[in-house]
Amino acid sequence: MMIVQGLVLLLLLSIVPTNSLICYECGCDQSDTAACDCDTTSDITDNDYCVILEQRYVGTTYIQLSRIPRNSSWIYIEDPYYILTHESIRYNLTTSQWYLWTFIVVYGCDWDLCNAPNLINSLPNSFKYNINSIWLDLNIYGTGAVTSCHHCDTEVCGNVTNSSDFIQCQMVTCDTNITSCLTYDLWNNVATGEQCYQSQCAPEYLNGEFAESYGGKYRIDIEAVVYLAQDRSKYDIWELDVFCAVKNCTRPTIFQEVSQQLTMEIGDLSAFPPTRPLTTHASTTTTPIPDPLRCYSCDCSDASTCPCSSTVVSSLDYTYCVIIREHYGQDVWTSLRHIDQNSTRVHIQDFPYLLVRESILYDEQLIQWNTTTNSIVYGCNYDLCNHPSLIPYMSNSFQMYVQEDWLNTNVKGTGQPVRNCHECPEEPQCGTSDFLDASRCPIRECNTTCLVSDIFDKPNDDLQCYQSFCAPSDSEHFHIDTNRVDIEGLLYLNKEPYTVELWEVDIYCRADDCSRPEIFSELKSNLTVVIGDLGPLDPQTSTSSQSTNNPSTTTQSTTNPPTTTSTASLLSGDSLFISL
Last residue of a domain, one of 198, 231, 266: 266
Share of the chain above pLDDT 90, in %: 37
- Residue 44 has a pLDDT of 63
- Residue 319 has a pLDDT of 85
Span 551-572, mean pLDDT?
A: 31
Beta carbons within 8 Å of 240's beta carbon, 6+ residues apart = 184, 185, 220, 221, 222, 223, 255, 258, 259
Same domain flag for 234 and 102: yes
Are 113 and 280 a contacting pair, CB within 8 Å? no
Span 203-214, mean pLDDT?
A: 80
Comparing 475 with 371, the larger pLDDT belongs to 371
pLDDT by residue (tens digit) across 300-348?
A: 876 678 888 778 777 888 789 999 998 877 788 898 888 877 667 677 8
Q: Which residue, 496, 479, 441, 498, is CA-closest to 570? A: 479
**Is residue 514 situated within a structural domain?**
yes
- Residue 548 has a pLDDT of 31
Same domain flag for 238 and 309: no
Q: Which residue, 222, 68, 34, is CA-closest to 140? A: 222
**Is residue 276 situated within a structural domain?**
no
Q: Three-state secondary structure along 269-287? A: CCCCCCCCCCCCCCCCCCC
Burial degree of 426 (CB within 10 A; 0-12, 13-18, 19+)? exposed
Same domain flag for 234 and 350: no
- Residue 223 has a pLDDT of 92
**Is residue 176 situated within a structural domain?**
no
pLDDT at 578 over 60: no
Same domain flag for 221 and 108: yes
The CA-CA-CA angle for residues 346, 347, 349, to 5°, reads 135
**Is residue 195 situated within a structural domain?**
no
- Residue 549 has a pLDDT of 32
| Cβ count within 10 A of residue 432 | 10
- Residue 460 has a pLDDT of 59
| 412-416, 419-423, 459-463, 570-574: segment of lowest average pLDDT | 570-574
384: left (phi over 0), alpha (psi -120 to 50) or beta: left
pLDDT at 20 over 70: no
Same domain flag for 303 and 254: no
Burial degree of 163 (CB within 10 A; 0-12, 13-18, 19+)? exposed
**Is residue 52 situated within a structural domain?**
yes
Same domain flag for 44 and 113: yes
pLDDT by residue (tens digit) across 86-122?
A: 999 999 988 889 999 998 999 999 899 999 999 998 8
Query: Please, which pLDDT band fits residue 77 given cuts at 50, 70 and 90?
Result: confident
Span 281-307, mean pLDDT?
A: 70
Burial degree of 46 (CB within 10 A; 0-12, 13-18, 19+)? exposed
Beta carbons within 8 Å of 31's beta carbon, 6+ residues apart = 60
- Residue 68 has a pLDDT of 86
**pTM for this entry:** 0.53
Span 279-302, mean pLDDT?
A: 67
pLDDT at 54 over 90: yes
**How many whole angstroms separate alpha carbon 27 and alpha carbon 63?**
6
**How many whole angstroms separate alpha carbon 159 and alpha carbon 189?**
9
Are 180 and 148 a contacting pair, CB within 8 Å? no
When mean pLDDT is compared over 259-273, 500-514, 535-549, the highest value belongs to 500-514
**Is residue 178 situated within a structural domain?**
no
- Residue 552 has a pLDDT of 31
- Residue 544 has a pLDDT of 33
At residue 144, the 3 state secondary structure works out as coil
Span 368-378, mean pLDDT?
A: 93
Span 548-566, mean pLDDT?
A: 30
Are 223 and 105 a contacting pair, CB within 8 Å? no
Span 161-173, mean pLDDT?
A: 78
Same domain flag for 218 and 363: no
pLDDT at 14 over 60: no
Q: Which residue, 513, 302, 551, is CA-closest to 402? A: 551
pLDDT at 406 over 80: yes
Are 505 and 454 a contacting pair, CB within 8 Å? yes
pLDDT by residue (tens digit) across 481-526?
A: 789 999 999 999 998 889 999 988 999 999 999 999 889 989 999 9
Same domain flag for 259 and 388: no
Which residue type, as a one-letter code, is found at position 313?
Answer: V
- Residue 429 has a pLDDT of 81
pLDDT by residue (tens digit) across 237-252?
A: 888 999 999 999 999 8
pLDDT by residue (tens digit) across 430-459?
A: 876 665 565 678 899 999 999 999 887 555
Q: Which residue, 89, 75, 70, is CA-closest to 135? A: 89
**How many whole angstroms separate alpha carbon 182 and alpha carbon 340?**
43
| Cβ count within 10 A of residue 213 | 10
pLDDT at 4 over 60: no
DSSP per-residue letters across 336-347: EEEEETT-BSS-
Range of the structural domain that residue 45 is part of:
4-146+206-242+249-266
Same domain flag for 233 and 301: no
C-alpha distances in Å from residue 549, one per residue of 168, 527, 532, 533, 557: 67, 10, 11, 14, 20
| Cβ count within 10 A of residue 579 | 9
φ, ψ of residue 286 to 5 degrees: the values are -60, 135
**Is residue 286 situated within a structural domain?**
no
Span 379-390, mean pLDDT?
A: 94
In this structure, the dihedral spanned by the alpha carbons of residues 72, 74, 80 and 86, taken in order and rounded to 10 degrees, is -110
- Report the number of distinct structural domains present in the chain: 2
Burial degree of 577 (CB within 10 A; 0-12, 13-18, 19+)? middle
**Is residue 416 situated within a structural domain?**
yes
Same domain flag for 314 and 259: no
pLDDT at 554 over 60: no
Same domain flag for 237 and 380: no
C-alpha distances in Å from residue 302, one per residue of 307, 312, 391: 10, 21, 11
- Residue 509 has a pLDDT of 95
Same domain flag for 29 and 120: yes
Beta strand 368-380 with 419-422 is unpaired
- Residue 472 has a pLDDT of 80
Span 172-198, mean pLDDT?
A: 81
The CA-CA-CA angle for residues 56, 338, 503, to 5°, reads 95
Mean pLDDT, the chain, whole residue set: 80
C-alpha distances in Å from residue 518, one per residue of 205, 513, 514, 522: 47, 11, 9, 6
Q: Which residue, 493, 497, 529, is CA-closest to 348? A: 493
- Residue 19 has a pLDDT of 46
Query: Please, which pLDDT band fits residue 568 given cuts at 50, 70 and 90?
Result: very low
pLDDT at 217 over 60: yes
